[in-house]
């Protein structure tokens, strides 16, 4: 039996410094369909230095 289901996949990035601080996105209900605090998503570029 074949089963299919439509899904939306998203990308989330947890960015943390050596003191435990993280980057979050606070979504304004006046601008977005849903509001609240979330990890940033979308394209993520990682720059490595000193490698």
Residue 22 to residue 45: CA distance in whole angstroms = 16
Which tokens in the block code for residue 32?
């977005």
Which pLDDT belongs to residue 11?
Answer: 72
The residues pairing with 25 across neighbouring beta strands, listed in sequence order, are 38
Strands of the chain, DSSP E:
25-27, 36-38
Which pLDDT belongs to residue 50?
Answer: 52
Mean pLDDT by 10 residues, the chain (51 residues): 82 82 86 82 56 44
Which pLDDT belongs to residue 24?
Answer: 85
Residue 40 to residue 12: CA distance in whole angstroms = 6
Which pLDDT belongs to residue 22?
Answer: 86
Can you give the pTM of this predicted structure? 0.44
């Amino acid at each position: 039996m074949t089963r299919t289901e439509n899904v939306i996949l998203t990308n989330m990035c947890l960015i943390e410094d050596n003191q435990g601080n993280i980057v979050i996105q606070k979504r304004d209900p006046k601008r977005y369909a849903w509001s609240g605090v979330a990890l940033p998503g979308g394209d993520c570029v990682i720059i490595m230095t000193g490698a």
